[in-house]
Amino acid sequence: MHEDLEKVKLLARDLRDGKEFPRSPRATLGGYVLAARAVDKCRAVLVDWHGEYHSNCPLDQRWLNFAEIHYGDFRALVASGASDDEIAAWIEKNAKKRSRAEIVAWNNKERDLRLSDLPHELQEYMENYIHRYVPRNRSEVARASGLRDVRNRDGRATSLVVSQLLAI
């Protein structure tokens, strides 16, 4: 596969300065949560529109490890300018073969992930982040996936939080 960064630019979201955000961690691609978000961040990194987001961060690795997909192979596919449909088909072909029930159970576990389920260093980071940026009346931040919908004290969406949280 050869890189086609001009094609990637047509598909990439501009994640700099809150212009756009990657898709929700809950959005699915190829049957997996986290995959669509990983694609958005990878495209943005490839064209240097990533802002504070990272590709192949621990959040992306959760999905890649479960699917048993190597990041280098995934990155090469995304860098070719593949569409979401092409990436979904590639995931279905290249991910570890699992039953639909096993994938659904993993997806639901990831959707329900609590901050207390995260590694200690990430919990510490989030404790500081939440204290600094998230309004005190927002109880949904107990779930890592709930962070995507919270607005910070300045009124900006905190979609950035999950990737910052897991990009350390």
| Per-residue pLDDT, 74 | 98
Calculate the average pLDDT of the chain. 83
State the total domains in the chain: 1
Residue 158 CA to chain centroid, in angstroms? 13
As a whole number of angstroms, the distance between CA 48 and CA 43 comes to: 9
As a whole number of angstroms, the distance between CA 27 and CA 100 comes to: 17
Residues lower than pLDDT 70 in the chain: 129, 132-168
What is the domain range of residue 75? 5-165
Q: Could you read off the pLDDT of 91-138 as tens digits, one per residue?
A: 999 999 999 999 999 999 998 888 788 778 778 877 776 776 666 665
User: What whole-number percentage of the chain has pLDDT above 70?
Assistant: 77
Q: 28 in helix, strand or coil?
A: strand
Cβ neighbours around 93 below 10 Å, total:
9
